[in-house]
Amino acid sequence: MQTLTELLVSILLVFQSLLGLPSVDTAQPPRESETATVLRVIDGDTIIVDLDGVEERVRYIGIDTPERARDGKSECWAEEATAENEAWVEGKKVQLIPDISDRDTYGRLLRYVYVDDTFVQAKLIEAGVAKAIRIEPDTAEYRTLKDLETTARMEEKGLWGNCFR
């Protein structure tokens, strides 16, 4: 289902085409990346990195994973999500790519995370250990992540086959 904004943009593009107006480039400008080394994995969607000699907590944009125990009881599939994240990033050099927001309300950096050319958020969703989430204004990769989630759900991977039956 399209959001109202997407619907309005579609209507405007149709009118633009009918009136013969020049098109506007809607592609996002290239996003710069930062290279960091992962020092520790907190959970399935949060890591601590060394970024230019500064320890930073990074929250992955566009996904949510089950929470690990704070009161002795983890959410379903939380340990598996953490382990999957560790397998991808623990001790590795990563590329951190911003979207619109730099930090969340907890002071964590908000970034898309890559190891070499591998989009970590996508791999976590494909494994069934993460859900796609849309939090404005950081939505550049939402559609890609949501499509991967749909496939993981249909295939009942990870939490979709074990927590949501």
Catalytic residues: 59, 67, 108
Q: State the Cα–Cα distance between residues 28 and 127, nearest whole angstrom.
A: 28
Structure tokens at 20: 């013969």
Q: Which three-class secondary structure state does DSSP give residue 5?
A: helix
Q: State the Cα–Cα distance between residues 37 and 45, nearest whole angstrom.
A: 16
Q: State the Cα–Cα distance between residues 120 and 130, nearest whole angstrom.
A: 11
DSSP string computed for 86-146: HHHHTT-EEEEE--S-SB-TTS-EEEEEEETTEEHHHHHHHTTS-EE--BTTB-TTHHHHH
**What is the CB neighbour count within 10 angstroms for residue 51?**
18
